[in-house]
Amino acid sequence: MAPWVKPVLGGPPALNAPQAAAVTHSSGPLLVFAGAGSGKTRVITHRVAHLVTSAGAQPGSILAVTFTNKAAGEMRSRLSSLLGDNVAKDLWVGTFHATCARLLRRHGGAISLSSHFIIYDADDQKAVVRRALRDLGLDDRRYPPRAILGRIRDAKQELRGPEALESGSYVDDAVVKVYRLYEAQLQRANAVDFEDLIGKVVLLLEEDPGGEGAAIRRRFGHVLVDEFQDTNRAQYRLLRALTRHHRNLCVVGDDDQSIYAWRGADVRNIRGFEHDFPDATIVKLEQNYRSTGRIVKAALGVIEGSRERVPKDLWTDNLDGAPIEVVAARDERDEAAYVVGVIQDARARGTSPEEIAVFYRVHAQSRVLEEALRAVRIPYQIVGGVRFYERAEVKNALAYLRVLVNPKSDVDLLRIINTPARGIGAKTLERLSSVASSRGLSILEAIETLEEAVDDEVGSPTQLGGLTSARKRLFAVRDLLAHLAAKVPFRTPSDTLASVLDESGYVATLQAEDTPESEAKLENLRELVGSVRDYEREAEAAGDAATLDGYLERVTLAADVDSMKEASRVTLMTVHGAKGLEFQLVLLTGMEDDMLPYRGMSSDAADARDIDEERRLAYVAITRARSRLVITHVGTRQIFGSSRPGRPSRFLATIPADAAVQRATREASRDSRFVERARTFQPPPQGDWRHPFESESAGSEARGGAPGERFVDRDFFDDSRSGEADDPLVVRRGSRVVHAHFGEGEVQRVIQASEPAVMVFFPSSGEKKVLARFLRRA
């Protein structure tokens, strides 16, 4: 038996006595720093069990929140086995979003939210933003919907309304206007977005309209949170508001595994917990039960380079295990071939495929790996990528259902009004839309007014907004929907879906297309009907009524969980997707600077904070491995259609030498220069982010500055320089400038290049990169 397959652990034993006491028995605020592999979820389940069995808490007064459905499901099943189904069924165990949705359905009336509200996902949000931009007459090339929505989302995650946003710059003003319309649109549609689910519960709790906030607060005597480092500001405020009186808040997390800052997670929630709760009991779980000694050591080496972290000394009693293999490959194909070789070898030694995972930083890396695996017929599954519920045909079908439940939902109506094609084009929709917004109606209501206009014989073409010719087609859609909606109460959800697909002509249209693509779409629609049937069966088993509302909520709050089967397949996924999982053998690919740490096309250097998040990502990846870890990096990588040079990631240099061995593939060995570089590089001194290779291979690649060198994006034209110039133009972000051709604009950022240049936003023509010498002060 190879050393690395030797069993090294037997699952987390009981906590040591003082820890156990603190974790299960302490009262008041409790913060548990649970290092990777230290048995974090156990903390919550055992505490809950103790609260119920020994502390006399009512199961219904305990709320345990997680981030994913999967985590919630696991927690629930563990609690069921600890406490029995009968007790566990009364506990509130769920994701932040599902829990808040449940509360809002019961208490949302106080903030005029009908209990049939629907939840808009990212796509719906974007559609609302696009429409708002159109209504405001703003060009969506100059104001990219994605970016605008990003700003709105950021604001909502901090519970800031449009009035609380900065204004003054062109973009800021646009954001504020779009945000206002966006909110109005959601309210009119009786819809909420993911941020609202949290935000509106916070509103209920903090403002207590009709006593509903107090009612929610009374409900819960204990609140427990998993993966606390991933909470955003709004979620933190929710937790504080919920526990304001009794302060029975138990949070478990690991700041070293905070990898979601980019979507709003605020690591200050965990790092600053002690500040907000000075009386909190703090426990650190530092013993790792998962991985070999060398893996733990490597992980610790990597994470210790962080600028800021709560110190934790991860250690293990497990055997040292085999050295980590750091392998240089020539390019991504060579890397894939090596990965395949390792997998074949491991399988031959008896490692089962579901114990093997291949990680990468971005999905784009998966293609080459897939090809290599397919070539030798190794079964694999990819987690992530395009999700089932995000496919266009699935979203269309769901949009029909959502309109039936909530006819005011314009986003959904607009999605299906011309699906399948019914001759209702952009022009018609634009007119309809403006009729609707000018009268404060939903689109469907606006269609109704066309009828009134006809009945009254007063419908002048101007009043109808030029909609006379499309009227018949619009009425046909309205009648179709009315007909389907009338039958909803008498049909099962799956029958409703089936008749929607049939009577709308959607299926017929796809069948007529008769292409491989249309066949795939039909297949997906059949699967969707199947998923509704599954839901109906589950609801029945749980003794609940199966409703269309119920199904839609589940789907909107669902993830990719179902797709990750226990089947005997090798798993391919991004490092983000790997959090919370563990495998016997992990292959971490693409360990190059620019890939991990990742840097996109732009030459902007990441700042130290971004680098630290990438470092934590590497830490998460490493700590997923139980007994064997193989890390690969390449000399050249083709990605996104072009080639970039690869150098070993700076993080590799922080793995202690006695934990790893360096290797090269046969292909890579031929390039002796690359191998020599890869073999001999040294860790950079602390605090110096210059890559070690940069000095050695100076001038070998012309790039926009050394990696890691800080690009200054403000005060670039500082006074020391301006002294030499004839016209000292000092600009910084936000400065107003004038360009001879584009007119007045606003500086977005300063670009470091051979000649000073800036990105300027011109309201007349959008964002442009211009040389500073063509600008003057506004």
Partner DNA sequence: TGCCACGCCCTTTTT
Partner DNA sequence: GGGCGTGGCA
- What is the per-residue DSSP string for 269-321? HHHTHHHH-TT-EEEEE-B--SS-HHHHHHHHHHHTT-SS------B--S---
Asked if residue 420 has a cis previous peptide bond (ω within 30° of 0), the answer is: yes
Which residue among the candidates 24, 45, 95, 257 is catalytic per the annotation?
Answer: 257
Q: In the annotation, is 40 catalytic?
A: yes
Q: Which residues contact 427 (CB under 8 A, 6 or more apart)?
A: none
* 161, 210, 423, 440: which one binds DNA (CB under 7 A): 423
Rounded to the nearest whole angstrom, what is the least distance from the CB of residue 223 to DNA in the complex? 17
What phi and psi values does residue 539 have, to the nearest 5 degrees? Answer: -60, -45
Gap between the Cα atoms of 514 and 614, Å rounded: 46
Helix axes 233-242, 194-207, angle to 10 degrees: 30
CB 283 within 8 A of CB 603: no
DSSP 738: E
* 303, 424, 464, 477: which one binds DNA (CB under 7 A): 424
Which residue among the candidates 177, 312, 624, 626 is catalytic per the annotation?
Answer: 624
Alpha helices of 585-687 — where are they, by DSSP H? 608-622, 666-670, 672-680
Give, for 696, the enclosing helix (H) or strand (E).
helix 692-696
Q: For the chain, how are helix, strand and coil distributed in percent, rounded to 5? A: 50, 15, 35
Gap between the Cα atoms of 11 and 328, Å rounded: 34
Q: Report the residue number, 95 or 396, with the smaller CB distance to DNA.
A: 95
Gap between the Cα atoms of 552 and 570, Å rounded: 32
Which range, of 234-242, 414-422, 714-722, 754-762, touches DNA by CB under 7 A? 414-422
Q: Report the residue number, 365 or 735, with the smaller CB distance to DNA.
A: 365
Residue 515 interacts with DNA (CB under 7 A): yes or no? no
Rounded to the nearest whole angstrom, what is the least distance from the CB of residue 719 to DNA in the complex? 32
Binding to DNA in span 372-391, by CB under 7 A: 384, 387
Which range, of 21-29, 204-212, 319-327, 424-432, touches DNA by CB under 7 A? 424-432
The pair of structure tokens assigned to 426 is 């952009």
Which range, of 21-29, 456-464, 597-605, 673-681, touches DNA by CB under 7 A? 597-605
Residue 13 interacts with DNA (CB under 7 A): yes or no? no
User: Binding string to DNA for residues 173 to 202, with x set by CB under 7 A, is what?
Assistant: ---------------------x--------
Residue 549 interacts with DNA (CB under 7 A): yes or no? no
CB 187 within 8 A of CB 27: no
Q: Report the residue number, 8 or 119, with the smaller CB distance to DNA.
A: 119
The beta strands (E) that lie in 184-286 are given as 191-193, 222-225, 249-253, 281-285
Which residue among the candidates 226, 256, 325, 612 is catalytic per the annotation?
Answer: 226
Rounded to the nearest whole angstrom, what is the least distance from the CB of residue 572 to DNA in the complex? 11
User: Binding string to DNA for residues 470 to 509, with x set by CB under 7 A, is what?
Assistant: x---------------------------------------
Q: In the annotation, is 41 catalytic?
A: yes
Residue 168 interacts with DNA (CB under 7 A): yes or no? no
Gap between the Cα atoms of 327 and 378, Å rounded: 21
Burial bucket for residue 95 (CB in 10 Å: 0-12, 13-18, 19+): buried
* 576, 690, 733, 768: which one binds DNA (CB under 7 A): 576
Which residue among the candidates 227, 334, 412, 694 is catalytic per the annotation?
Answer: 227
Q: In the annotation, is 227 catalytic?
A: yes
* 642, 686, 695, 754: which one binds DNA (CB under 7 A): 642
Q: Report the residue number, 370 or 671, with the smaller CB distance to DNA.
A: 370
Which range, of 28-36, 207-215, 569-577, 664-672, touches DNA by CB under 7 A? 569-577
Q: Report the residue number, 262 or 490, with the smaller CB distance to DNA.
A: 262
Sheet with 775-777: strands ordered across: 766-771, 757-762, 743-751, 736-739, 775-777
Q: Report the residue number, 514 or 719, with the smaller CB distance to DNA.
A: 514
Asked if residue 597 has a cis previous peptide bond (ω within 30° of 0), the answer is: yes
- What is the per-residue DSSP string for 53-83? HTS---GGGEEEEESSHHHHHHHHHHHHHHH
Binding to DNA in span 31-50, by CB under 7 A: none
Residues taking part in catalysis: 40-41, 226-227, 257, 624
Q: Applying CB under 7 A, which residues contact DNA?
A: 67-70, 95-98, 121-122, 140-141, 194, 259, 262-263, 361-364, 367, 384, 387, 418, 421-428, 470, 556-561, 573-574, 576-577, 598, 600-602, 610, 640-642
